[in-house]
Amino acid sequence: MEKTRLELFRGTLDILILKSLIWGPLHGYAITGLIRRQSDDALLVEEGSLYPALWRLESRGFIEAEWGLSDNNRKAKYYHLTSEGRRHLRAESKTWEAYAEAVAKVLGATQPPRQETT
């Protein structure tokens, strides 16, 4: 199975994590799974960057952790969004969309920009 590996821009991982938690509490492995499935296997989050990002988000108060039992009855650390995290996610996704739109405009351009009139 061939996977496309997309480099995640700094800060992007954070909002992906926050977004994935919007459906409910998840543990770390489940988060990677969710992101992978949601992106049709396009985004693969590496463990080495996932966990530090998770902990940083926790220390900034955007998510909180709680121990619970996973589906296969294992003890797992579940993360859920705080209201502050929700706010952060809203703000960040707006920024991200504006950014993506701008990038898309540039890349999708079919003709050079018109001369600016001064």
Min separation Cβ 72 and other proteins, Å: 8
Interface with other proteins, residue 114, by CB under 8 A: no
What's the one-letter identity of residue 94?
A: K
Q: Where are the alpha helices (DSSP H) in the chain?
A: 12-20, 28-38, 47-59, 83-107
Nearest CA among 86, 36, 43 for reference residue 64: 86
Fill in the per-residue mask, 22 to 41: x = in contact with other proteins (CB under 8 A), - = not in contact.
--xx-xxx------------
Interface with other proteins, residue 78, by CB under 8 A: yes
Three-class DSSP category at 77? strand
Min separation Cβ 27 and other proteins, Å: 7
Interface with other proteins, residue 10, by CB under 8 A: no
Three-class DSSP category at 81? strand
Residues forming contacts to other proteins in the complex (CB under 8 A) are 24-25, 27-29, 46-48, 51-52, 55-56, 58-59, 66-70, 72, 74-78
